[in-house]
Structure 1
């Protein structure tokens, strides 16, 4: 898992100041150890083929109170997920 940046650094603090509520909430959530474990568990289940990506995402969203108001990228255009813990915004 990639290391997260030091949230106490001036650069990180400046980035957080510019976030709107959803972005700030995501930054807070992605640092939550329980969310990180849950996300990794979901990713392993999808990779193993025991659950579809859509079902796993819906389950994760339900448990963590997440909503996705826009349609996700089609699989051929998908980038590294911003919901992934440890990614920086």
Structure 2
């Protein structure tokens, strides 16, 4: 995980994400944590792909869903509304 990554966070990433959210990573923090978990600074994105909040998030790396970066703003809006998005 690195700066610029687009992630979808669900309950697999942490029980706090009852409602999945999409974020863009600002940076991975070097705060002490348990094996397999990370603290990240990220922007939470709305359905249009616009940043609505800056958050520090604690996530289980194995549960994070990586999304492919859209090629345009229109693609960003479509993909965040549930269109075709690569997850890896």
TM-score computed with the length of structure 2 as normaliser: 0.25
TM-score computed with the length of structure 1 as normaliser: 0.25
Structure with higher Rg: it is 1
> Hey, which of these two has a bigger chunk of helix by percent?
1
Compare relative contact order (CA 8 Å, sep 6+) and give the higher one, 1 or 2: 1
